[in-house]
Amino acid sequence: MKRIAAILTTMFLLTANVWAQDGKGIYNKYSDNESVSAVYISSAMFKLMGKVPNMDVGSGTMNIGPLIKNLNSMYVLDCDDPDVCQEIKSDINKYIKKYDFEMLMEVKEKGEVVRIYTAGSEKTVNQFVMTAAESNAITFICLDGIMSRAELEKAIAKATQQME
């Protein structure tokens, strides 16, 4: 009986671990953790947002309407607990390996490592993942949906102009 219980427990942990290996799974696993700040935007909310005309936010106007129209979900996790961060990093690494992501950029500066990954084709991006990790903190951003690569680049470039 003990052997059966041990096998079942292992199976359960393995399946839970395997199924935590996508944006949604990682979000579900850590969003209720006290040391984690979490933001989730659903496809329904994206559709509502798509109907909102260009909003004046900050110093200029940023139109991310065309981009968000086809987004399914956005998951953001921000964690500052070293132990939880290690677990999140491990799950993200498994997720990146599982979905054959391509690394777009890696920046190492002042102890922070920023990595940007995309999965999809030459013209479209199905998944966009960004991680900004320090020794005891991590920010995980995951955009899920069919995005035009050109629109995504344009939105990021617009955001850059606004910041300047």
Q: Is 130 in the site for another protein (CB under 8 A)?
A: yes
C-alpha separations of 125 from 52, 67, 144 in Å: 23, 11, 9
- Degrees to nearest 5, angle at CA 98 with 38 and 103: 75
Q: Is 87 helix (H, G, I), strand (E, B) or coil?
A: helix
Q: Is 136 in the site for another protein (CB under 8 A)?
A: no
Residue 82 C-alpha from the chain's centroid = 19
Residues 6+ apart with CB under 8 A from 150: 123
d(CA 45, CA 55): 16
CB of 38 to another protein, least distance (A): 7
CB of 8 to another protein, least distance (A): 5
Nearer to another protein, 1 or 121 (CB): 1
Interacting positions 44-73 with another protein (CB under 8 A): 44-45, 48-49, 51-52, 55, 57-58, 62, 64, 68
Residues 11-50, mask of contacts with another protein (x by CB under 8 A): xx--xx--xx---xx-xxx-x------xxxxx-xx--xx-
Burial 34-59 (b: 16+ CB within 10 A, else e): eebebebbeeeebeeeeeeeeeeeee
Which residues sit at the interface with another protein, rule CB under 8 A? 1, 4-5, 8, 11-12, 15-16, 19-20, 24-25, 27-29, 31, 38-42, 44-45, 48-49, 51-52, 55, 57-58, 62, 64, 68, 74-76, 105-107, 109, 114, 116, 130, 132, 139, 141, 155-160, 162-163
